[in-house]
Amino acid sequence: MKKLTAVVLTWASWMLILVTASAQTITPQESSSRVISNQDLDLLRKDLRARRKQLIAANLKLTETEATRFWPIYDQYTKELIAINDKTFAVIQDYADNWGKMGYLLDASNHRM
């Protein structure tokens, strides 16, 4: 289990480094011309989930009996985690969409004092 945790953490670290590195190489002009659709994001997420599952399966040696009990639980966990992450993303997106409005509201409330 420790080996699996180490592998998953290492993989997550590499993904973070790759995303950060690629984000730093995009100039503002390039980023404004790139549009990532929700469909593209969904495909990327599905691919990452499939790769994560393959990585876990490769490193978590289960008997057939253990596998028949483990994978449905893992799939349910993933489904619940997706719902939580979708809610988190929606809150962050709402904040980003309304950030300018909130700044204005804060400025207006400070002037009333």
pLDDT one-digit tens code per residue, 75-100: 999 999 999 999 999 999 999 888 88
The pLDDT, as a whole number, for residue 79 is 95
Q: Which helix (H) or strand (E) holds 32?
A: helix 28-33
Of the candidates 84, 86, 60, which has an alpha carbon nearest to the alpha carbon of residue 71?
60
The pLDDT, as a whole number, for residue 56 is 95
Tokens of residue 31, six digits: 């980023």
Q: What is the pLDDT of residues 8-63, one digit of tens each?
A: 667 666 666 765 555 555 555 555 567 788 888 889 999 999 999 999 999 999 99
The pLDDT, as a whole number, for residue 65 is 96
The pLDDT, as a whole number, for residue 67 is 95
**Greatest C-alpha distance within the chain:** 69
pTM summary value: 0.55
